[in-house]
Structure 1
């Protein structure tokens, strides 16, 4: 997938980096209509999928700005930094900037646990500077994910695709009817009874018609589902 031509400018366009060991991961974002998100790693991509699902997150963007930690400047990118004689700059670019309810801005740093150990000092400096700028830094690692959660996020995100939303009326009608008939189902029962298969399970969970524990395999036949009455709190799996 190519980056959208209308994508917001980013401090570091990781989709254009060529000297890298692995490819970047670019995906469409329902929370940022018309834009695509580029992630540097599988871990960043998986966190991005969970941001797409999280009802606390109204919008988000990757590589949003650059901080120069010595002077405390917030810059659109490194190239906007004006060099000074005798100053050795130290730059920090967050992985994500999230817009939450009430206009609150939250900065996310996504690091492997090995990489985190090597960046502790710089991240502490960044956290202090961000606090002075009115933002909070949250560090996320693979410890926040389970294999099942990663798979669930992939398929639940697919159910939020904008092109599907105008075609879901009969699907939602069948799922709401099932929730009205019984409060408790399993994924296998719901998929078979509604004749919607596992796609119906994904839509039901994304829309809050049913809730489930996303750290477990959502699409296993015996996974319990409970009528959610539109509550989306089960999608709040990241410690934001």
Structure 2
């Protein structure tokens, strides 16, 4: 079941405008917010939901049934569904958390899900995180047919091109650098986000797995 996020006075509460999900996604910590950035840009992630499931498990220490609400339910390509807990490294290694994870993991696996504990050191890998945060800023810039036609002309005889060269050629046609970032944000252009975005970064066009601007037959 979906549990509404409430503010107990100790956690930061915020909303992330997810294009992938078509709605605002709630987060309760800065680490969760940063993880949402990664989910939003991960091409293998089909969908994700925050605190949408409740796991019941037995604790033999008091012989009672307890409830555990993980942070995210993530659906990936290949119909893989992951139950994800987001924690800082120190908390994840604490005795309480390790015992909790040992109790809930078998229940989750029996239901056919994967269980993952994702820590801040895993999430805040650089320059990946800074890159996706940069591209997110250009989410609201619309993409027009003129963008696609220009890309088709520029990349008609090339499979890829350095970022700086694309910016220059698009600029000669009246487009701004921000619009090239928007093309990256919307998945029309692609580059390796685990490397620094600079003028030498190699960019490819992924629109419909065809040349940019070509009409699908």
Structure number with higher strand proportion: 2
Q: 1:120 to 1:212 in 2, by over 3 A?
A: same
Report whether the alignment pairs 1:202 with 2:181.
yes
The answer to whether the Cα contact below 8 Å between 1:46 and 1:153 also exists between their aligned partners in 2 is no
Within a 5 Å distance, the mapping from 1:136-147 to structure 2 comes to 136-144=114-122, 145-147=124-126
- Give 2:69's aligned residue: 93
- Give 2:3's aligned residue: 11
The TM-score, its normalising length taken from structure 1, stands at 0.71
Select which of 227, 230, 234 maps to 2:204: 227
The answer to whether the Cα contact below 8 Å between 2:139 and 2:186 also exists between their aligned partners in 1 is no
Report whether the alignment pairs 1:123 with 2:101.
yes
Structure number with higher helix proportion: 1
C-alpha distance in 2 between matches for 1:211 and 1:135: 30
C-alpha distance in 1 between matches for 2:186 and 2:24: 22
Report whether the alignment pairs 1:30 with 2:11.
no
Report the alpha carbon displacement of residue 124 of structure 1 after superposing the two structures with TM.
2.4
Select which of 197, 206, 216 maps to 2:195: 216
CA RMSD in angstroms, aligned pairs only: 2.7
Select which of 178, 181, 189 maps to 2:154: 178
Report the alpha carbon displacement of residue 87 of structure 1 after superposing the two structures with TM.
5.2
Structure 1, unmatched stretches of 5+, are 1-8, 72-85, 233-240
- Give 2:110's aligned residue: 132
Report the alpha carbon displacement of residue 209 of structure 1 after superposing the two structures with TM.
4.4
- Give 1:76's aligned residue: none
1:187-236 Cα distance to aligned partner (Å, 9 max, x none): 22222220234433333434554432212222x3x34123244489xxxx
Select which of 68, 71, 81 maps to 1:105: 81
C-alpha distance in 2 between matches for 1:180 and 1:97: 41
Structure 2, unmatched stretches of 5+, are 210-217
Report the alpha carbon displacement of residue 96 of structure 1 after superposing the two structures with TM.
0.9
SS in structure 1 of the partner of residue 93 of structure 2: helix
Select which of 37, 43, 46 maps to 2:34: 46
Report the alpha carbon displacement of residue 30 of structure 1 after superposing the two structures with TM.
1.5
The answer to whether the Cα contact below 8 Å between 2:74 and 2:83 also exists between their aligned partners in 1 is yes
Aligned length: 201
